[in-house]
Amino acid sequence: MKVFKIEMGQGILMLPEQGYDVAVITSTLHSCTFIAGYNSENHNQCGAYHYPSGLGPNKDKRHKEFTQLANWMWGVQPNYIKIIFASADPDGMKVETSDEDKDWLREWMKECGDKFKIKKVEEGEARQAAMTCAQKGSDFHAGNKETEKFNIDDDKAIDLTGILGPTYHKFDQDNNYGVKLFGWNRNIYNENGVLEM
């Protein structure tokens, strides 16, 4: 199984022709949301997106993020979606996905339902989220990495967190990973993809 690591603001699509089993992991969900999608009519098509939190009333930032998320959705063409909201911090910091973010994402998924023929949207909560997909079958799973069974070796993850989605194709040609990357890591790039380190 190939394991890929993405970060806040990044989405990933597994290209069908590769045919290997895949997994996606990400950093701790403090207040962000992990979205995983799967096309049950094409068992090789799946992916995940780490949606940033804190976009708040800034409609311009939110629009840019939803544009990246829409690009990811058009790539995956999912008819099944699993949304994993950040659960409350067990240390009592009470940081979790805001009700505002939950409402925006739920509303947006409703709007996408007809476009993408989404048959099912499920929700969950986690601090550590993951997705796995058996590319030669129909075994797709996304959920809480701490409480559910995931056969993932984090130490072997292919780290894509420092790469811009728009420039990823050259990197993939050199490494032949067979995935497509969307967006960019919001921890080191701003909403326009400009490095801010």
Q: Are 11 and 69 spatial neighbours (Cβ–Cβ below 8 Å)?
A: yes
Q: Are 82 and 129 spatial neighbours (Cβ–Cβ below 8 Å)?
A: no
The 10s digit of each residue's pLDDT in 92-123 is 666 789 888 899 889 888 888 778 888 899 99
pTM as predicted = 0.90
Cα three-residue angle 18-19-22, rounded to 5 degrees: 95
The pLDDT, as a whole number, for residue 144 is: 94
Average pLDDT over residues 20-49: 88
The pLDDT, as a whole number, for residue 143 is: 95
Decide if pLDDT at 170 tops 80: no
Domain coordinates in residue numbering, the chain: 2-183
The 10s digit of each residue's pLDDT in 46-98 is 999 999 886 656 667 777 778 888 889 988 989 899 999 999 876 666 678 98
Helix (H, G, I), strand (E, B) or coil at 53: coil
Helix (H, G, I), strand (E, B) or coil at 169: helix
Crossing angle for the helix pair 99-116 and 59-76, nearest 10 degrees?
A: 40
Average pLDDT over residues 15-37: 86
The 10s digit of each residue's pLDDT in 153-169 is 899 999 999 887 777 76
Average pLDDT over residues 139-146: 91
The stretches of 97-185 forming alpha helices (DSSP H) are 99-116, 168-175
The pLDDT, as a whole number, for residue 27 is: 93
Determine the Cα–Cα distance for residues 97 and 54; give it in Å rounded to an integer. 9
Per-residue tokens: 181: 């990357």
Cα three-residue angle 152-186-111, rounded to 5 degrees: 85
CATH number of 2-183: 3.30.1330
